[in-house]
Structure 1
């Protein structure tokens, strides 16, 4: 039975890789198939309809709300000009010094990445940042990669991500937060090294190589649209509350929304902006929310007693217990989180994580280390992720080119995460 479930998982991966079925739909079909193979009845306790579909769908409800609030805050950063102002100030400070400009845009990307991930974060920092970097001589691939590496620096402090791992792995938020803080230095060092190395070794492209209509960050009109200086700390508000004052995640994000609104909007226009950005946030959040519904259903399926009993001996046989082998094996498997592969935590990887925990093969904290480390790779180098596709296309290169340049750096981040995991939790 375990072998059949593995074959079903392989078929699901193939369906996602070939894009014959959207990821969320593929995960739901995969969950139902696993439940059927595991011998789950159609109705009643531990069934396909009740346990897998009905109870599994809202499993990550707290994560979905956090994603929606993060998307809402991201829309406010865009509409109020906070994100654009941050980027323009950095460009003004950097002048014609390419490395300084790139490092500044990297910092803004990291700040935005703490609020919202994926394509919205890339667009907030990249619409102005990418043309500005290329205009001062940063190569196109490096410019796109800088945005992505910056977002990866912010991922360890992205509150919706904390909530996701907390709920999916059934761990307290402080535990997730603690490991994310340990992962942050690796992401930061890798990102800075990427900018310093790649901006030099790839040569210089002159300003006229790329200057789209949006590349006018220092125009008088843009300056007049700058957000107030006290509004620029908006991305830090939820982070300070959640990290410094231990405020729960959803209230922290709500506080960020309210701060952005109050510091940038006149009283008479608050209602319209409030609703407009909220509805815009729903549009941005819809794809990840659909994915989280599917992941919840998949987690419910792989945790069924029949599935755990069938998979435990197979997974245990191939899971290294020695700390050195643990680091070595999972480091070599890093490419499997790319192209929506089986170790992508926002896909089948969530199911594998559930099996590792349910079968008692690794403690939940060790699985947290694995999943978050792989997520650092997926969030930057996966050519199928929305932020990678958008950044690459906006810079005028292919996602595969960005993957080849960024992968060595985020692979090293994952290695660092695995070493910390093995030393701390095994």
Structure 2
């Protein structure tokens, strides 16, 4: 019954139904099944626990732990993203890239993708994505780049940046540490090198596919929007470093990420004149930026809280999955890396290799079968099969928005995004093995 419910969850995710409700339903089904199973034959994980203890662990402790470790980081990350948009720093960087690229479409597209990836090392949420998209996409269209290529290149550059994104690291790492408590000490500093390599791999693959499938087009009325955008006042050059300040603060100075977001936001606003005015005006501006950022990530918050319930329910269900399929789970590091590389496509459509899909249960079983596996090796593997497919997927909210904005057919997008996600994930699985497989 557990496996049947898991298959149902895979189908549910692929159909694109509401994930917040879906994971709450799954958590409830698994709680009922494990309580019935424990009444028939007790398991070690439920030893000495009452029904109330189980309900508390799943529906109260799970969301509370996520609120403590993830939500505050997401809120402040979204706030910082709004600051970069409101101060004009992100738009200025894009306009300067266009000036540098001139009338060479391939060079301009490549430079725009690189800058977009760097911006999304810190930014997160659909609001910032749309705010950047309405600047970048019209510029690409005005250069004669076809809409399917432009949309794929832009979304692919976001995907590359997300692989090194501080907020996303905290999100997925907390899910991982929910199954392996010893992994809690694994920090963004430990991950940064492989995250940066993943960003570079993502950019190289996306730009290669975009250039190979690109054909000449003609400029159209999108160009008017691009020209109008380029006429806006630029943020001063010394403010541009704010884009990477949170990452530099964490990596070089070991600063707490929330302090890094706040300090970087203050620097961005100070250097762009956004701190001028009365005390009431400035505080009102800060409050609005935080509110707008919170709205950007509100759907993600609801999803993560229900996912926390599902993860805690999976802790109780893991012994049953382990008993059924433990013998077919690889324990050799090379085999694990190759299997993950082969199964990267199952991270699309929120499938069973995706943390924010139905992958939490699969990863729980894999981790249970490999209790001593180094987090430096295993966590990046799960990130590779999640981030690359997920952020090129048609179920991703901003990709779905992009279809409506550009009028691109999903099939024209998928014939680029599917191979790109698989190639990126497979390459990274191999790199991760050579870097950490012998630990």
- The answer, yes or no, to whether TM exceeds 0.5 is yes
Indicate the SS of the match to 1:115. Answer: coil
Measured after TM superposition, the shift of residue 180 of structure 1 is 4.7
Indicate the SS of the match to 1:345. Answer: coil
Residue 259 of structure 1 corresponds to: 267
Unaligned ranges ≥5, structure 2: 40-45, 178-182
Determine if contact 2:125/2:297 at 8 Å carries over to the other structure.
no
1:404 matched to 2:415: yes
1:67 matched to 2:77: no
Residue 313 of structure 2 corresponds to: 301
Measured after TM superposition, the shift of residue 383 of structure 1 is 0.9
Measured after TM superposition, the shift of residue 190 of structure 1 is 4.0
Residue 229 of structure 1 corresponds to: 237
1:217 to 215, 222, 226: 226
Indicate the SS of the match to 1:66. Answer: helix
Determine if contact 1:163/1:249 at 8 Å carries over to the other structure.
no
Residue 52 of structure 1 corresponds to: 58
- Paired residues for 1:104-183 under 5 Å: 104-170=111-177, 171-172=183-184, 174-183=186-195
Measured after TM superposition, the shift of residue 35 of structure 1 is 1.7
Determine if contact 2:393/2:417 at 8 Å carries over to the other structure.
no
Give, in whole Å, the separation in 1 of the partners of 2:367 and 2:426: 21
Q: Aligned pairs, how many?
A: 416
Determine if contact 1:119/1:387 at 8 Å carries over to the other structure.
yes
Aligned-residue RMSD, C-alpha: 2.5
- Paired residues for 1:25-424 under 5 Å: 25-39=21-35, 44=50, 47-61=53-67, 62-170=69-177, 171-172=183-184, 174-208=186-220, 211-212=221-222, 215-219=224-228, 222-264=230-272, 265-268=274-277, 269-304=281-316, 307-360=317-370, 363=373, 365=375, 366-423=377-434, 424=436
Measured after TM superposition, the shift of residue 85 of structure 1 is 1.3
Indicate the SS of the match to 1:218. Answer: helix
Residue 14 of structure 1 corresponds to: 11
TM-score by length of 1: 0.89
Give, in whole Å, the separation in 1 of the partners of 2:19 and 2:374: 25
Question: Which range moves more in the overlay, 354-363 or 338-347?
Answer: 354-363
Indicate the SS of the match to 1:204. Answer: coil
Cα deviation digits, residues 150-206 of structure 1 (max 9, x gap): 112212321111212332222246555434522433442442343245235431111
Determine if contact 2:340/2:385 at 8 Å carries over to the other structure.
no
Determine if contact 1:31/1:301 at 8 Å carries over to the other structure.
yes
Give, in whole Å, the separation in 1 of the partners of 2:353 and 2:128: 23
Measured after TM superposition, the shift of residue 344 of structure 1 is 1.8
Measured after TM superposition, the shift of residue 343 of structure 1 is 2.0
Give, in whole Å, the separation in 2 of the partners of 1:218 and 1:174: 46
Determine if contact 1:109/1:122 at 8 Å carries over to the other structure.
no
Indicate the SS of the match to 2:127. Answer: helix
Indicate the SS of the match to 2:129. Answer: helix
Give, in whole Å, the separation in 2 of the partners of 1:339 and 1:154: 20
Indicate the SS of the match to 1:49. Answer: helix
Measured after TM superposition, the shift of residue 238 of structure 1 is 0.5
Cα deviation digits, residues 340-374 of structure 1 (max 9, x gap): 22222113213332333345457262431222101
Give, in whole Å, the separation in 2 of the partners of 1:358 and 1:327: 17
After superposition, the Cα gap between the structure-2 partners of 1:421 and 1:181, relative to the gap in structure 1 and judged at 3 Å, is: same
Unaligned ranges ≥5, structure 1: none
Give, in whole Å, the separation in 1 of the partners of 2:249 and 2:419: 34
Measured after TM superposition, the shift of residue 140 of structure 1 is 1.5
Determine if contact 1:78/1:124 at 8 Å carries over to the other structure.
yes
Measured after TM superposition, the shift of residue 228 of structure 1 is 2.2
After superposition, the Cα gap between the structure-2 partners of 1:357 and 1:325, relative to the gap in structure 1 and judged at 3 Å, is: closer
Question: Which range moves more in the overlay, 183-192 or 71-80?
Answer: 183-192
After superposition, the Cα gap between the structure-2 partners of 1:109 and 1:101, relative to the gap in structure 1 and judged at 3 Å, is: same
Indicate the SS of the match to 1:290. Answer: helix
Determine if contact 1:81/1:227 at 8 Å carries over to the other structure.
yes
Indicate the SS of the match to 2:225. Answer: coil
Measured after TM superposition, the shift of residue 110 of structure 1 is 0.7
Determine if contact 1:133/1:143 at 8 Å carries over to the other structure.
yes
